[in-house]
Structure 1
Amino acid sequence: MTLIRECTQYIDGRMSNDGVGEWIDVINPATGKVVARTPEAGTAVVERAVEAARRAWPGWRRTNPFERARFLHGIAAEIEKDERTIAAAITEEMGKPLAEALGEVRKLAKAFHYYAEEAVRVFGTTIPNEEDGFTSIIEREPVGVVAAIAPWNYPVELIGWKLAAALGAGCTIVVKPSEYTPSSAVALFRCLHAAGVPAGVANLVTGSRETGRLLVGHPDVDKVAFTGSQAAGEDIYRTVSGITSFSLELGGTCPIIVTKHANLERAVAGTLRRGFRNAGQICIAINRVYVHESVYASFVDALGSRAASLVVADGLLNERADVGPMATRAGVGKVERHVADARERGARVLSGGGRTGEAEGLFYSPTVLADCTPEMLVMHEETFGPVVGIAPFATLDEAIALANGTPSGLAAYAYTEDLRETFELGRALEFGSVAINNVDAGIMNAPYGGRKQSGIGYEHGHEGLEGYLHLKHLRVHHGA
């Protein structure tokens, strides 16, 4: 019989479930079995966490940045020691293969190392005055108490981007992970505790969307950092109290353009990786593919064949799995609607197209849909599952218009060996990140964020740290 874990809140330097009355079952999507229980934090618990962060802020903001950097390096070291435990919790609760989960935990540790270094590079400026005897100094100061809401698809990495940057900047924070994936977040906070982070600087509350509303609506929260759906982001906008700073990453229907000058083998491999990694449950997953008509038939045949050969399995039982189960029943339902809509409108199913594996598991076969048209849901809504739709194009202008033709603007991809096309695509695509001849749109030391309905603000890079700082103009009359 599987042992059911009991998750705990982390408030004011202590693991505790004081004041919790309700619990949420956490389900392994590969088996349908309950693997953990997590508290539903109510008003009193959220209040306690925000109060702890507020009390800790004056001391933490004045902590020497080199000292804050030592704490962040220490957290990274603890994560590295416990990487397999954290990764196993990720796989068990949301389904991604263990190798992918280990990769996520390693990138989490790198985020803490990175922002440890950025913490000591928060520079100010001096501004000339038109009057002698004055000096103007522009200083950057931490914004205060941060409320961070993270989704289930990258349950520790997306916490880490917010947590590492906020702590490096001198903010204190309260984090709420997804109710689908609390155990890996608890394991991360055990690493913070082991690294000796002062009480109240970083706090964890668990629960449903209602817990998140209580947190972001708290009047003592100075900034909200959120990754999730557009609908949830709009809900947060309506929930916050007073004037609050935001960074929101809301996903998107990411396109890829394959021109007649592309290396087709690399384009197919890139589409396969970014379309089906994490079962397509990635904000920057390739959702829709536009291929030049001269190479269209070759591309769709190759992608369909490669997708059909991917291994779909429980990532804990088979570490060689390429694709695990989807994380939620609602997600499977959306995939089924998108595929059914495409079939009805005339798309050809080249691979997949339905559920696979044991009935109790949320497995869906990697699906390639050819001959898609703009009105199909898969070509203008974020599917967030292992499905890609493909359509031909005749001219580059047509492809660019199709790619730009949705309200989202997070990431776009293109494959071409033509230098002119490279720069034309790079400049014309209206997305926060554009990757040419690769499908890694985000790297830790470059800003990552969306345009249009895909969000506001940035994570990654020094810009990610800047999001937790605000400016002060200090004008001094010294008389010299």
Structure 2
Amino acid sequence: MTAMSTMSTKSEMPEPRNLVAGRWVSGGEPSVAVVNPADGQVLTTIPDTAAEGVDEAVRAARAALPAWRSTTPFQRAAVLHRLATAVRGDLEPLARLITLEMGKPIGEARGETAKLADAFDYYAEEGVRVYGETIPNEQAGVTSIVRHEPVGVVGAITPWNYPLELIGWKLAAALAAGCTIVVKPSEYTPSSAVRLFGLLAGAGVPDGVANLVLGAGTAGRALASHPDLDKLAFTGSGATGAAITRSLAKAILTSMELGGSCPQIVTASADLDEAVAGCARRGFRNAGQICIAINRVYVQREVHAAFVDKLTAAVAALSVGPGLDDPDVGPVTNAEIRDRCAAHVEDAVARGAQVRAGGHSPSDLEGTWFSPTVVDDVPPDSLLGSQETFGPVVGVTPYDTAEEAIALANGTDAGLAAYLYARDLGEVFSIGHALEFGNVAVNNPDAGIMNAPYGGRKGSGHGSEHGREGLHAYLQVKHLRIRYGQ
């Protein structure tokens, strides 16, 4: 990247400040560099907000809660619809910030930003459909009403792979429910969040209802352990999720989406071209940096060789380049991902696997890169066969029986999403029901849609986002028992 183009991208970066009670404030001395993964250039530097700054944001959310929770769902819906409109009007600058800091192709970043707007619209409508119940009583003259009320003050810690969309799932549902919120975005991708929060006031979000704090470990720990939260929502790694659980100041509601090593099963009855296309999309979209990315593929032995040949050709044809050039695959976001990809491939090869495509970091590109990679005959106990790579690497393993495929797919601690390609209806239902995952996509690569619940099992977390379940994650039940007669 030339010096002039570096200056032009830096000029797009918003000032890295916290938004607290409707005011932009400093989070402290800038100390955390935000790097463009396509070329290694520093884009901006943000503070790691100290506990005092996080406390100020939580106090602002607590002060704003009584007024916000007393608004009607229809009033909140109007605000969310205006926010959706504001996001669509600012789509290109938001998308460019995602690509500059995270690396994904600009077309995917535009799609992510559009989905953010859709989330605001969806929860605006879902918020007015929160219904209670009237429960019969044995005693005459008594009525029981079950109603749903806002949880209260929410802390949200969000990741870098979908820096706006994953904020939106939490922010939209929390606001629709009548909660207030403090969001800490990833230190790798803070700028799109800063720009998003700059749209709130114009959409009519009252001061203090939604607050933003920037930072890394210091800010994250201070928010996760804050004693005045009523709920914590987290998306990230299993190790960080476990650490957060141990750090909670008291017993509060939590929802955690912790990712997972997602399997794909391809039976002999499958349409191989569909299965290959699905794997190429879900395994390599966003450079494989998706919680529901296909990581390990189990293919029935009769069609194993044909599947691998087709997948190798499809992956070798993927274009690779800087996200602003809109290739199929951009850089990985940081060196940790790049090095993990290399370690997983090296371990698999040492155990007898064969690299069929990619398998290395391109030497002619600056920044953090790993080539789209297919590895065949991957042992199930290898790193690639048992752990989440979270990069553009897919491992393939042949199997003989459905029981073997199910055992391999279920054989890790992951339980977020699984994929099944089969045309035999018996296989579709028997295997589909046996997979121990919160989301199972059959003959398609999309395990989540906005109006259906999305969440994991086992080590992939608990709680739901999307759907009415995603809204109810920010509501609590009250039983109101009223005696009105003799």
The TM-score range, normalised by the shorter chain, is over 0.9
Question: Helix, strand or coil for the counterpart of 1:120?
Answer: helix
Pairwise mapping of residues 235-246 of structure 1 onto structure 2 (< 5 A)?
Answer: 235-246=243-254
Question: Helix, strand or coil for the counterpart of 1:424?
Answer: helix
Quote the Cα distance in structure 2 between the aligned partners of 1:83 and 1:356. 31
Which deviations, in whole Å up to 9, do the C-alpha atoms of 1:224-247 show, x marking residues without a partner? 000000000001101111111000
Question: Helix, strand or coil for the counterpart of 1:453?
Answer: helix
Quote the Cα distance in structure 1 between the aligned partners of 2:88 and 2:189. 20
Pairwise mapping of residues 1-16 of structure 1 onto structure 2 (< 5 A)?
Answer: 1=3, 2-3=6-7, 4=10, 5=13, 6-16=15-25
Which deviations, in whole Å up to 9, do the C-alpha atoms of 1:292-350 show, x marking residues without a partner? 1110110001101111111010011x12x000000010111111110100111111110
Quote the Cα distance in structure 1 between the aligned partners of 2:481 and 2:204. 38
Which deviations, in whole Å up to 9, do the C-alpha atoms of 1:356-377 show, x marking residues without a partner? 1545321111000001111111
Q: 2:165 corresponds to which residue?
A: 157
Partner AA of 1:20 in structure 2: G
Shift of 1:16: 2.2
Q: 1:405 corresponds to which residue?
A: 411
Q: 1:29 corresponds to which residue?
A: 37
Q: Note if 1:225 corresponds to 2:267.
A: no
> Could you state the TM-score of these two structures normalised by the residue count of structure 1?
0.98
Q: 1:300 corresponds to which residue?
A: 308
Which deviations, in whole Å up to 9, do the C-alpha atoms of 1:205-228 show, x marking residues without a partner? 010022111011111100000000
Q: Which runs of 5+ in 2 are unaligned?
A: none
Question: Helix, strand or coil for the counterpart of 2:207?
Answer: coil
Which deviations, in whole Å up to 9, do the C-alpha atoms of 1:30-75 show, x marking residues without a partner? 0000111222211121111001000000000001110000000011
Which deviations, in whole Å up to 9, do the C-alpha atoms of 1:103-159 show, x marking residues without a partner? 100111100000000111111101111000100101100010000000000000000
Quote the Cα distance in structure 2 between the aligned partners of 1:191 and 1:304. 44
Q: 1:130 corresponds to which residue?
A: 138
1:250 to 249, 254, 258: 258
Shift of 1:7: 1.4
Contact 1:416 1:437 in 2 (8 A): yes
Partner AA of 2:225 in structure 1: G
Contact 2:141 2:484 in 1 (8 A): yes
Question: Helix, strand or coil for the counterpart of 2:323?
Answer: coil
Q: Note if 1:183 corresponds to 2:191.
A: yes
Contact 2:51 2:218 in 1 (8 A): no
Shift of 1:22: 3.8
Pairwise mapping of residues 250-399 of structure 1 onto structure 2 (< 5 A)?
Answer: 250-316=258-324, 318-319=325-326, 321-356=327-362, 358-399=364-405
1:471 to 471, 477, 483: 477
Question: Helix, strand or coil for the counterpart of 1:101?
Answer: helix
1:196 to 199, 204, 222: 204
Contact 2:124 2:176 in 1 (8 A): yes
Contact 1:12 1:203 in 2 (8 A): yes
Shift of 1:384: 0.4
Which deviations, in whole Å up to 9, do the C-alpha atoms of 1:452-474 show, x marking residues without a partner? 11001000000000000001111
Question: Helix, strand or coil for the counterpart of 1:408?
Answer: coil
Contact 1:312 1:363 in 2 (8 A): no
2:55 to 47, 53, 57: 47
Question: Helix, strand or coil for the counterpart of 1:188?
Answer: helix
Contact 1:263 1:417 in 2 (8 A): yes
Contact 1:143 1:468 in 2 (8 A): yes
Shift of 1:425: 1.6
Shift of 1:9: 1.0
Q: 1:121 to 1:357 in 2, by over 3 A?
A: farther
Partner AA of 1:229 in structure 2: S
Quote the Cα distance in structure 1 between the aligned partners of 2:404 and 2:51. 52
Contact 1:41 1:207 in 2 (8 A): yes
Quote the Cα distance in structure 1 between the aligned partners of 2:408 and 2:190. 38
How many residues align? The count is 477
Q: 1:214 corresponds to which residue?
A: 222
2:108 to 84, 88, 100: 100
2:466 to 460, 469, 472: 460
Pairwise mapping of residues 425-436 of structure 1 onto structure 2 (< 5 A)?
Answer: 425-436=431-442
Q: Note if 1:443 corresponds to 2:452.
A: no
Q: 2:98 corresponds to which residue?
A: 90
> Could you state the TM-score of these two structures normalised by the residue count of structure 2?
0.97
Quote the Cα distance in structure 1 between the aligned partners of 2:382 and 2:31. 40
Quote the Cα distance in structure 1 between the aligned partners of 2:47 and 2:373. 36
Quote the Cα distance in structure 2 between the aligned partners of 1:278 and 1:203. 28
Aligned-residue sequence identity (percent) comes to 58
Q: Which runs of 5+ in 1 are unaligned?
A: none
Quote the Cα distance in structure 2 between the aligned partners of 1:440 and 1:118. 22
Contact 1:9 1:39 in 2 (8 A): no
Q: Which runs of 4+ in 1 moved over 2 A?
A: 1-6, 357-360
